[in-house]
Amino acid sequence: MSLSRRSPPLFEESTRKRAAEVVAAIESRTSAEVVIAVRAASGHYRHADYVAGAALAFVALLGLLYVPQELALELFPLGVVLAFALGAVGCASLPALRRKLVSRTLQETSVRTAANAAFVELGVSRTSRRTGILVFVSHFERRVEVVADIGVDAQALGPEWRSVLDALSTAVATSAAPEPFFEALRRFEHPLARVLPRLEDDVNELPDMPEAVA
For 144-192, the pLDDT digits (tens) are: 999 999 999 999 999 999 999 999 999 999 988 999 999 999 999 999 9
pLDDT at 74: 81
Instruction: Please check whether residue 134 is in contact with residue 37, taking contact to mean a CB–CB distance below 8 angstroms.
Output: yes
pLDDT at 5: 43
Boundaries of every domain in the chain: 9-43+103-213, 46-101
What is the Cα 54 distance to its own chain's centre? 27
Q: What are phi and psi of 101, to 5 degrees?
A: -90, -5
pLDDT at 149: 97
Give the global pTM. 0.88
pLDDT at 4: 41
Is the predicted pLDDT of residue 2 greater than 60, yes or no?
Answer: no
| Reported confidence tier of residue 3, pLDDT bands at 50, 70, 90 | very low
Alpha-carbon distance 77 to 55, whole Å? 15
Q: What are phi and psi of 136, to 5 degrees?
A: -105, 115
68/151: higher pLDDT: 151
Is the predicted pLDDT of residue 136 greater than 90, yes or no?
Answer: yes
**Mean local confidence (pLDDT), 67-73:** 82
Those residues whose C-beta lies under 8 Å from the C-beta of residue 41, and which sit 6 or more positions away, are 3, 138, 139, 140, 141
Q: Which CATH class is domain 9-43+103-213?
A: alpha beta
Q: Mean pLDDT across the chain, nearest whole number?
A: 92
Is the predicted pLDDT of residue 1 greater than 80, yes or no?
Answer: no
| DSSP conformational letter for 29 | S
Is the predicted pLDDT of residue 10 greater than 90, yes or no?
Answer: no
Alpha-carbon distance 83 to 53, whole Å? 7
For 14-59, the pLDDT digits (tens) are: 999 999 999 999 999 999 999 999 999 999 999 999 999 999 999 9
